Amino acid sequence: MSSSSQILTPDITIDITNDVCPMTFVKTRLKLEKMTPGQILEVILKDGEPLKNVPRSVTEMGDDVLDLTKSADATGTYRLTIRKK
């Protein structure tokens, strides 16, 4: 994960907060497969299994996890930023 304070503008954003594993990663993977190398995907996800499994699986598949931050609002969601390799 990047410790840079640079703001990355995602090319695509998906919300997987209503999905459960393994669909959280499946939806993320399918979106990444349609993207071109270098594009940025932002994934909105919730705590628990998605928060543990999606970033790990993305890294294992060869893409870069750039950032993972908790949303500032009261929804309890997280924003995962990924660069397609």
User: Which residue segments constitute the domains of the chain, with CATH numbers given?
Assistant: 12-83 (3.30.110.40)
Spacing of C-alpha 7 from chain mean position: 15
Distance CA 54, CA 47 (A): 11
Given the residues 21, 51, 65, 68, select the one marked as catalytic: 21
Q: Is 21 a catalytic residue?
A: yes
Instruction: Give the model confidence (pLDDT) of 29-83 as tens digits.
Output: 999 999 999 999 999 999 999 999 999 999 999 999 999 999 888 788 999 999 9
pTM of the model: 0.89
